[in-house]
Homo-oligomer: A and B are copies of this chain.
Amino acid sequence: MVVVKTSPPPTVPVGNKVNKGFPYSNGSIKPHFTPSLNSFINLDQGDPEVFAPYWRKKSEECTVVIKGSDLMSYMSDMSNVCWFMLPELHDAIRRLHRVVGNASAGMDKYIVVGTGSTQLFQAALFALSPSSDPSNHNPINVVAAAPYYSEYQDEVEVLRSGLYRWGGDARVYDKNEEYIEVVTAPNNPCGSIRRAVARSEGEGKLIHDFAYYWPQYTPITEEYDHDVMLFTFSKCTGHAGSRIGWAIVKDIEVARKMTRFIQMSSIGVSKESQIRVAKIIGVICDSYQKIGSSLQSDDLFFEHSKCMLRERWDKLRAAVGKTNLFSLDKYPKNYCNFTRQNSETYPAFAWIKCCGGIEDCESYLRSLKVFARGGKRFGVDGKYARVSLLCRDEVFNEFLTRISNATRDY
């Protein structure tokens, strides 16, 4: 048996621009490391490890077996607009939304699957751009209300597309030109429930990014029914490595163009991921729909996860309360149609504002050996930083310790 060594680790300085958003620590960040006082903890990205223990308990139930000749073809269902989407996943997605009640995904809508909602976001930009008119050389403006998700601007600008361009903060957008507004609810980074805000005489098209509109993060107050709604399995269940997202789309031409974009981008979406996601969605839905189910709420995914996030937020607020250096947003209570309880929002990220004269929250947290993402990446000032609350327990607890002990000197 030939022993193969992997290539030596490249030396990448912290904050290397090419890997912006995925910084290395001093030394490599290895999965499952146990944080100590001297180690950096990376809360810059939202790797959803917090859900892993739940799925370890469900490991056998969710098992997928893929044999050598399964899933070989490019094609899935040529009778569907999204021809590379497996029918199993198509059915599972509609079922999941029916069970949770967070979005209208009935027979009058089209589902488009993508390699994460990241790919679908770019597919939606392509589909909503007035690209079919070759005489139209003006890129459409893409706006979002600050603080907006840090990657939107980069994704819009990465290829210097002639079809669309970044138009900045939707709240101050006043050009008399058509635009696309991205509405994220709950918002990433700040967790607030957003609506479209741009006031322009130009025609506006909306993309609703509902990555976090699941019961563990926020009350399900209505079944949304917008033109283009994006979801990602990464944040629904924590299976980020599967790279599966989907869009619910009203207009067939928009659905076709999004499908076309994904065809040109990657000729479809991994079928292994699709079949696995369909399986996991089935297990979730069965647990809620099984007649006579004796499952305790601790066994039900959304209730279990909501409980975890609520505990984390309680602990975070207590830790922040021990110093005068940080503040956190408060969230209103609302009735959740899914859990049938009143509750707050428990966002996946803490949107921390530094007080006490600290102007650069990202740098201050770095002095505590905590990687976070500074407010400027989200279109606001550096007093803010976004910190992931989806990390493993040991990492979260270490973060609480550092926050509680923080002082002004750095």
Please report A residues at the B interface, Cβ cutoff 8 Å.
1-2, 4-10, 18-19, 21-22, 24, 28-31, 45, 47-49, 51-52, 55-56, 58-81, 83, 87, 90-91, 94-95, 98, 107, 109-111, 114-116, 118-119, 122, 126, 131, 151, 154-155, 158-163, 234, 238-244, 252-253, 256-257, 259-261, 263-273, 276, 280, 283, 289
Contacts and interface: CB of A to CB of B under 8 A. Distances in A.
A9 to B, nearest CB: 4
Nearest to A4: B91
A55 B72 contact: yes
Nearest to A276: B272
A160 to B, nearest CB: 3
A107 B5 contact: yes
A30 B87 CA distance: 13
A65 to B, nearest CB: 5
Nearest to A241: B271
Contacts of A67: 59-60, 62-63
Contacts of A114: 266
Contacts of A70: 59
A17 to B, nearest CB: 9
B65 A63 contact: yes
Interface centre among A72, A95, A122, A126 (most CB of B within 10 A): A72
Contact of A52 (B69, B154, B265): B69
Contacts of A272: 64, 66, 241-242, 270, 272-273, 276
Contact of A78 (B18, B29, B267, B268): B29
B73 A31 contact: yes
A265 B2 contact: no
Contacts of A59: 67-70
Nearest to A54: B69
A94 B2 CA distance: 11
A181 to B, nearest CB: 20
Q: Give the one of A58, A160, A266 with max B CB within 10 A.
A: A266
A31 to B, nearest CB: 6
A265 B7 contact: no
A45 B252 CA distance: 24
A119 B270 CA distance: 13
B68 A66 contact: no
A350 B60 CA distance: 47
B118 A266 contact: yes
Given A159-B162, A243-B269, 20 more contacts: A7-B80, A7-B90, A10-B79, A18-B260, A22-B83, A52-B69, A56-B68, A56-B69, A59-B69, A63-B65, A64-B66, A74-B241, A115-B115, A116-B267, A118-B264, A154-B264, A158-B261, A160-B163, A243-B266, A265-B265
**Shortest Cβ-Cβ A-B pairs, 10 listed:** A160-B162, A62-B68, A270-B270, A241-B271, A272-B272, A9-B79, A55-B69, A115-B266, A59-B68, A59-B67
B71 A158 contact: no
A45 B270 CA distance: 18
B77 A6 contact: yes
A230 to B, nearest CB: 13
B7 A155 contact: no
25 contacts: A7-B111, A10-B256, A19-B263, A22-B83, A24-B78, A56-B68, A59-B70, A60-B68, A65-B65, A66-B276, A73-B240, A114-B266, A115-B115, A115-B243, A116-B266, A118-B266, A151-B264, A159-B161, A240-B267, A241-B272, A242-B270, A242-B272, A243-B268, A272-B273, A273-B273
A110 B6 CA distance: 10
Contacts of A289: 1-2
Given A80-B9, A162-B161, A72 B239 contact: yes
Nearest to A86: B241
A200 B172 CA distance: 48
Contacts of A265: 115, 118-119, 122, 265
